[in-house]
Structure 1
Amino acid sequence: MKYIEVDDELYRFIAGKTERIGESASDILRRLLGLASLTVHAEDTPETVSHPGMETSYTPNSLPPITESINFEQLYTANVLEAQKGAVGRFLFVLEALYQQMPQQFEKVLQVQGRDRLYFATSKAALLAASKSANPKEIGNSGYWVTTNNNTGKKHAILLEALEKLGCNETRAHTIADEVLPLA
């Protein structure tokens, strides 16, 4: 399989044309271009998304189904989490899973802020205005953005606070954050 880089706008367009969970970028493009589908499906070989300029990748759309209320037990499975590359990939993956589980309540993560830092926003520009070195990444296709240039310990703290804002009890939030972003 060959890999190509696409800009963020094109990536969002392709991802926005997803019709089923786990559908790969190749499957989406084949469908849009009217080309025959290959017999291998995304469930068999998940497509990994690489973010240009970073050592990070994560597998979007391989998330648990959306439920009425968040089910923290289904947020991730070890094998899917292990497939994510690096701390940023795991961080983005779990944030996307949270958004998929509870899109209406996800705006609560906007309350997660540092004393002088903005960690979440609804635009890349807002994060860059708060910090030129924020390295903002969109959380899936949610319309929410997160700062990714923090060290793993800070990402752990941000994830922990986001989980608690979304209703996860403190003990379970610590367990999830420790698995996703282990501290040393």
Structure 2
Amino acid sequence: MKTIEVDEELYQHIAGKTEKIGESASEILRRLLGLTPHRLPQTQIQKGTEATPKVSINQDELCVFDVLNVEELNLQKGVVGRFLFILGALAKVHREKFDCVLDIKGRNRLYFAANEATLLESGSSTNPKQIPDSKYWVITNSNTTKKKSMLTDVAIALGYTPAEVEKIREML
């Protein structure tokens, strides 16, 4: 793993230049410097408990808080927009295991599916929407409490700690 140290001001500047959900520090810097995109390895800014934020190449250490742009989250239209935005960030960070959402269901209802048709067939008024930058779909006609519950279930399935789960929930 390669690590570089950046001061807080530089970290904030780089993070503030994010144009799309989950954009890595490497992608941001390449864009800003006019370099061609490079796919591997993906580098992300990680702001840990240290006084100096670090840039890390270890993809396994990423979590949604490393890529989620709070300013962009706040620009989303309503609860549904924020719900999809958060799910999109989770899907981006956890591409390899995000299919675990397909196991999250209600007592008599599907919440997630690999396609729109499956959710449309699962009940009336599901109002399915595609999770941004993913192949997955989610129902969006549930109330805010149920959406928070769904985010909780997703975060738990992806291995977040109880404190992190609560923080994700409260973003909605």
In terms of fraction of residues, the more helix-rich structure is 2
d(CA) in 2 for partners of 1:72, 1:124: 25
Q: How far did residue 101 of structure 1 move?
A: 0.7
The list of structure 1 runs, each at least 4 consecutive aligned residues, that deviate by more than 6 angstroms after superposition, is: none
d(CA) in 2 for partners of 1:62, 1:106: 16
Asked if 2 retains the 8 angstrom alpha-carbon contact of 1:75 and 1:94, the reply is: no
Unpaired runs of 5+ residues, structure 2, are 1-15, 25-41, 45-58
Determine the structure 2 residue equivalent to 1:85: 77
Match of 1:119 among 111, 114, 122: 111
**TM-score, reference length from structure 2:** 0.66
d(CA) in 1 for partners of 2:169, 2:23: 18
Asked if 1 retains the 8 angstrom alpha-carbon contact of 2:148 and 2:169, the reply is: yes
Asked if 2 retains the 8 angstrom alpha-carbon contact of 1:96 and 1:139, the reply is: yes
d(CA) in 2 for partners of 1:64, 1:171: 24
d(CA) in 1 for partners of 2:112, 2:137: 6
d(CA) in 2 for partners of 1:85, 1:125: 25
Q: How far did residue 77 of structure 1 move?
A: 3.3
Unpaired runs of 5+ residues, structure 1, are 1-42, 47-60
Q: What secondary structure does 1:133 align onto?
A: coil
Determine the structure 2 residue equivalent to 1:106: 98
Determine the structure 2 residue equivalent to 1:62: 21
**TM-score, reference length from structure 1:** 0.62
1:138 and 2:97 aligned? no
Determine the structure 1 residue equivalent to 2:10: none
Determine the structure 1 residue equivalent to 2:140: 148
Q: How far did residue 160 of structure 1 move?
A: 0.8
d(CA) in 1 for partners of 2:135, 2:68: 21
* 1:75 to 1:170, Cα distance in 2 relative to 1, 3 A: farther
Asked if 2 retains the 8 angstrom alpha-carbon contact of 1:64 and 1:74, the reply is: no
Determine the structure 1 residue equivalent to 2:165: 173
Any idea what the Cα deviations from partners look like across 1:118-142, whole Å, max 9, x if unmatched? 0000010110111121000011131
